[in-house]
């Protein structure tokens, strides 16, 4: 677990350094993710330790959102002022994203399987 955590943190650290050093618009952890992905491709996959540790982290992903979510109490005044626009935007945009993504994928897949026939 310690080795796996070290790998994850090292990737994040390199990602942060590169992102800040080159003034890239991409956040450090995302670069870290890309870096780890490249490492995995070269190494032919994660070892058991990395597999188990990441599974543990990702299994409880919802928990990690709780502290940031509780931050809504700081923004209650802004939310109270602009809530109709915020709620409409979040709700319609989220539904539209679900619909557009699913339908575009379904359409592409149907075309792909159509070609095979």
Partner 1 sequence: MTPPLAELWVYLSTSPLLGLTLTLFAYQGAFWLYRRSGMNPLANPVLIAVTFLVALLTLTGTSYQTYFDGAQFVHFLLGPATVALAIPLYTQMRRVRAMLWPVAAGLLAGSLTAALSAIAIARLLGASLPTQLSLAPKSVTTPIAMGVAERIGGIPSLTAVLVITTGILGAVSARWVFDHLQVRDPAIRGFAIGVASHGIGTARAFQVSEQSGAFAALAMGLNGALTALLLPALVGWL
Min dist CB 17 to partner 1, Å, is 13
3-34: b or e for each residue (b if 16 or more CB lie within 10 Å)?
ebeebbeebbeebeeebeeeeeeeebeebbee
Min dist CB 43 to partner 1, Å, is 10
Structure tokens at 73: 């109490």
User: Using CB under 8 A, which residues numbered 52 to 71 contact partner 1?
Assistant: 53-55, 57-59, 61-71
How many residues bind to partner 1 according to rule CB under 8 A? 73
Binding mask 18-37 for partner 1 (x = CB under 8 A): -------xxxxxx-xxxxxx
Structure tokens at 84: 């109709």
Min dist CB 58 to partner 1, Å, is 6
Number of Cβ within 10 Å of residue 111's Cβ equals 9
């Amino acid at each position: 677990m310690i080795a796996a955590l070290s790998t994850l943190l090292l990737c994040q650290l390199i990602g942060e350094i590169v992102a800040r050093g080159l003034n890239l618009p991409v956040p450090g952890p995302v670069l870290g993710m890309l870096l780890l992905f490249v490492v995995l491709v070269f190494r032919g996959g994660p070892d058991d330790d990395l597999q188990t540790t990441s599974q543990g982290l990702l299994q409880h992903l919802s928990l990690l959102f709780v502290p940031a979510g509780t931050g809504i109490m700081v923004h209650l005044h802004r939310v109270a002022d602009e809530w109709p626009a915020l709620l409409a935007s979040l709700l319609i945009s989220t539904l539209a994203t679900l619909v557009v993504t699913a339908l575009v994928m379904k359409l592409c897949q149907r075309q792909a399987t159509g070609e095979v026939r």
